[in-house]
Amino acid sequence: MIIVFLPKIVSIMTACIKDQNPLLGTFNTPFNTTPFHAINHGHYIPAFEETIKQGLDEVEEIVNNTEAPGFTNTIEALSYSADVFNRVSNIFYNLNSAETDSQMQEIARELAPLVSDFNNDILFNEGLFARIKAVYKQKEALSLNPEQYTLLEKTYKRFSRNGANLNKSGQARLREISRELSELSLRFQDNVLAETNAYLLHLTDEDDLSGLPDTARDAASQLAAARNLEGWAFTLHAPSFMPFLQYADNRELRKEFYMAYSTRASKNNDYDNREVLTRIANLRLERARLLGYQTHADFVLEERMAENADKVYELLNKLLLAARPTAEKELKEVQKLAWDMGADFELMHWDWSYYSEKLRQKRYKFDQEELRPYFELDAVKQGVFDLSNKLWGLSFVRNNDIHVYHPDVTVYEVYEENGRFLSVLYLDFFPREGKSPGAWMTSFLNQHRKQGDDIRPHISLVCNFSKPTDNAPSLLTFNEMSTFLHEFGHALHGMLSDVTYPNLSGTSVYRDFVELPSMLMENWAVERDFLDVFARHYKTGEGIPDDMVLKIIETRNFNAGYGILRQLGFGLNDMAWHTITEAVTTDPLDFEIIAMQPASLLPRVDHVMVSPTFAHIFAGGYAAGYYSYKWSEVLDADAFQVFKDNGIFDKQTAMSLREHILSKGGSEHPLTLYKRFRGKEPSVDALLKRDGLIS
């Protein structure tokens, strides 16, 4: 009797769960956007448990299909499976980065083993892999189009490269490693956020503000008032931290602030990441060995444009050789200026931004703070929207009826030139305690086609820009404006996607290709014709002066060598952690010092580390891939030359970029896509020329 009625009972229970849990039901919202207003913390774990069950049931349906394995009933069916799980997962993990709290973090820790096991239950399903292999063996006879062929290749490699061929004991150990890595990555991210939020520089003596521009003072005053403090307060979030290092005359306070920032998560407290990151690196090595690779980098780079570690080091060393002489010359120039100004010390890290800015002002008669009034956030946003309209005919309509997860977030409907709906775009600009540092693009829903419908994406940009104050709206630095363009390039990759399968959509591309659209968009930041479109003084409405535009262009390569060396240091550090062939047992500080030494320029500071807060590689997707920023600069410098040749607003060039790259996602090999657009392979010389390192 129980057996007879069990399906009905389960069906009733599932219906109840769906009725009570907004994550599981139909989203009766504009464009099926996430009903953030209806979701609470208690909904997440039941939603994950239910959608994991659904996902495994869908896999079993594929496995138990009595028809012979084919592309449609196996590869395509698997691509579309677990779509509700993916929806729930996107919502939860996006919010855990952009609007988290202690309860969300605890839920994430509880979910980590469940999600890890779910992924491995699919990867280690013998019946499923047998069907995938059967289809893969007949791939040349299936008459697949390029996207279908790519999906088949990626599906087979996803299983074969991640343990499907291992014996039971190997798979069991891989499960343990996967669980622990997912938990460690979450802990790493949580520790960085906790350490970033824990520090506050509270000043009550106005003399300590000497040198700071009004924008920094106003923001600090407002922050202090918000915390019921007298005077001024500064945090380790970039809009507060960076201006202080760049402008504060008080060297001891600059040092204190720098040390607070640069020793985060390495202070022998509950949030220390040194053991966490070492364990992550060692587990990645063990996993690579289990899977038949010498190092984690070998495992990762097999599926990248770079192909192997030797080629990555070849790129890094070529750039290092070109940049180091320039960087050393720049250091001498900044050091001389400091001595001329009365400094009786060798420049340290907390001096670099300060004296570099002084040199910039002396050499070019130009203070970057002069740009802020012309980069009012709403104007910059409209400028970026107008640029995308000129290039691709896109238009943006604000929708206040779409629910958001925080009052700071605004939402836009994005349309094609012909009026066709293209995407939903969320914009989340300002720092807060529940938001991770940095800037990123993500998606709540990827574009794909299903049952004849073109499912359009829901894209989100998350940043940490300068907030409005009581005296002024949000006024961006030049770097923040460039960051907006960068992240918007990622957004275009997601919004303009035009593929069939969700796991090939938008930014689902090789990590060393994903930064091309974003890096490419940054080029417009120094183009006079683009700046003239939107850069107007927020008070007077006057356009940005010609001489100021010239200063932006002239100073583009100011201290470029130092900046390149800094990025190369990060890349070398990343590669060192992921080319280990034996478990690391040494102090991670000693390990890092050796790794980054070829790119080091300023004197080493005791206790200062990069690795404990290097979330890109220890809590993100850039392990053995941080070099991709420099590789993408090679691509973008080469690609932007087409716009320079044809006009920076040339619609034909933009549509070619869309047709061959932005719309294609990961549907074909990135080099194939790039060569279709550019007509040739990229050259590193284009980057070296742009950065002024070669003539």
Enzyme catalytic residues: 487
- The CA-based angle 194-195-198, given to 5 degrees, is 85
d(C-alpha 123, C-alpha 402), whole Å: 37
653: β partners: none
φ, ψ dihedrals at 437, nearest 5°: -65, 160
H or E element at residue 62: helix 44-63
d(C-alpha 422, C-alpha 496), whole Å: 7
Q: DSSP class of residue 587?
A: -
d(C-alpha 677, C-alpha 391), whole Å: 16
φ, ψ dihedrals at 582, nearest 5°: -135, 155
Complete DSSP assignment for 475-511: B--HHHHHHHHHHHHHHHHHHT---S-GGGSTT-S-H
φ, ψ dihedrals at 282, nearest 5°: -70, -40
Which single residue is written with the structure tokens 């593929």?
499
How many CA atoms does the CB half-sphere of 35 hold within 13 Å? Answer: 14
Structural contact between residues 622 and 438, judged by C-beta atoms closer than 8 angstroms = no
Structural contact between residues 33 and 458, judged by C-beta atoms closer than 8 angstroms = yes
Complete DSSP assignment for 250-299: -HHHHHHHHHHHHTTT-SSSTT--HHHHHHHHHHHHHHHHHTT-SSHHHH
209 closest CA partner among 219, 195, 197: 219
412 closest CA partner among 391, 428, 435: 428
Q: Distance from CA of residue 256 to its chain's centroid?
A: 29
462 closest CA partner among 33, 90, 97, 30: 97
